[in-house]
Structure 1
Amino acid sequence: MSTSRAPPVFLLVLLPFFASTAFISSVNGAAHMTPETSAICPTCPYFLPTPREVTTPEGIPANLTCGVRLLADRKVSWIRRKDLHVLTTGDFTYTTANKFRALHLPGSPYWSLQVEKPTVDDSGIYECQVSTQPKIFRRFTLNVVVPSAAITGTREMFMKAGSDINITCIVKGAIRGAPVTWYHVLPRPPYTEEEVEEINAGGRGGVQVVTDKHAGTSWLLVTHATWRDAGNYTCAPVHATPATVSVHVLDEEVPAGLHHDLHPSEGRSSITSPPCSTLLTVLLLVLQRVAAVNEHGHWCSFCLLLGITSCLSLTAVYTAAGETWTAAQDLSSTWSVWRL
């Protein structure tokens, strides 16, 4: 007659400890199923591998997905860590904010927290928690970014007529694969309405747009540029802030109506400097004669100072317009005449 032997007492004591390791302590909140833990606690829930970090553009819905096996009658809750606010439990949404919603298909081990129209303030840590004892949880990071485009180089480009225009646009934070559209604001005479055209291969020959949607980079190439290719070029990705560069095409004869816009420096060449030195000279000669016969010489000095101030102000205005006349030259000439 055979008798079964009872297990050692120390194994009975340590068995609850081994079973609890299936959950991993709430310090790290991660429950991973391994052959050892599966043998010790075959009914313990555990997390499935899912993406732990999600990045989305502002305004585009984002889903945080938590996978849990062997859930049984336990509940899955989503908690926002920054204020410990319980957002959802099971299929029920606790928050009054309409942007948060629980997503789950019956029989599926995946429980998702959907964030509709997220803003930058929604960025942070979200916790998927299972109602075990002790609780197990897994944390997820949501990054909400404001997509934007940036054109490499300066905001103004000066090109020689006949050369090639090459513009590079880098898109940051946009959805991978989002299309990029280029626009061209044509050069127009002053005080006329702007004309905007979408750039595509069907336009004039020599224009090419290449976009690497995976890298988020778009290139615009315009060969043999003419004055008609001048103007503003805008890189406009979907759901992103656009970027603009101004292109000037130089050294080519252009229509008279556009001459002022394309070559603004030439429009000021006809401005002449006021004959400030001549005016001061005449004024000083007159005041010198009056002072010789008038005992109120201080009034003459006051008038002289007033005349110099007025002339300096006039000279400063023309200097701002691009002329090279300076007040120092006027005063130097005036002082020479006064000493005579």
Structure 2
Amino acid sequence: MRRVSRKKALSIVKELDAFPKVPESYVEATASGGTVSLIAFTAMALLAFFEFFVYRDTWISYEYEVDKDFSSKLRINIDITVAMRCQFVGADVLDLAETMVASDGLQYEPVEFELSPQQRLWHRMLMLIQNKLREEHSLQDVLFKNVMKGGPTALPPREDSPTQPPNACRIHGHLYVNKVAGNFHITVGKAIPHPRGHAHLAALVSHETYNFSHRIDHLSFGEEIPGILNPLDGTEKVCNDHNQMFQYFITIVPTKLETYKVSADTHQYSVTERERVINHAAGSHGVSGIFMKYDISSLMVRVTEEHMPLWQFLVRLCGIIGGIFSTTGMLHSLVGFCVDCFCCRFKIGVYKPKQVSLLDGHVNSHTTPQSENGFTRGSSLDLHS
């Protein structure tokens, strides 16, 4: 009984065969078919090879959601060089709630404002990359995917020792502020705490020493990630007047970066620049210095690196192979049909009987009909000499 049931099961499975086997004696191999097959197999191999590289590649997707984290602190990473001595300038933050943030995390380092040849070359390269980023926004996706491969964007150290005394002050470090709008500024005199407002000891500094020419080597918000370029990195401004104000209006967007190399909570920002000369007689009021007014967006951007799933790659691969195989087969049949129609239309290759003539005479051949059984009814042959 088991053998009978197995035979029945095998017969049912054979009946369900959707790929019937054709005997080799029924298959005719032609040169044109072999050529088309060779072309089809070559196209399959090339497209499958390129599809594998598409499968290996990744892309960046952006999602927007409301930033629900309003209680944490915002980190500001600063590296700015001002063309004034360190005892004449001071930096601090004043937020929207009139809360003055202590600048204990900042360091004041006397340096030379002019860059060395190697540093100047690095600075030109950085500005070239910034210009390309402004023209081609898709390059930012490349930076996101290769964040850990790039080095830090800070200015490299000098390769030579300066011959002149330091004439500038490098202010670098980080500050933690509240996640509200604020104003980070560098102006004349050291900041002093005041119960009724905000003040700097600027009375002891002469106006002739004012020079707020500056270079922003690095300015970022949130977690500092090597390889990510920010809009103000490499910015250099030179004063034309002693009493000059530089203003940067910054909009900060919280960003959660999730790639195959790094997962971090950072911030992107856009900036608008403005500069003007302080002249009270002409109606241009204000305080000389560098002012960075920032505001935080309520939306958060989630940057995710995605990859093609394996099942989708297999489906695309099957589509490539099956599509090329079917298309080349139909094209081969269509070309063969057209060739057959062309040959039949112009009767190319059709046999035509010819009459035979002799020099000494002629032979007349009379075709005689054959009977149904294949025998000749009658024939005659006339020879004339």
TM-score, reference length from structure 2: 0.19
Greater relative contact order (CA < 8 Å, ≥ 6 in sequence): 2
Larger CA Rg, structure 1 vs 2: 2
TM value normalised by structure 1: 0.20
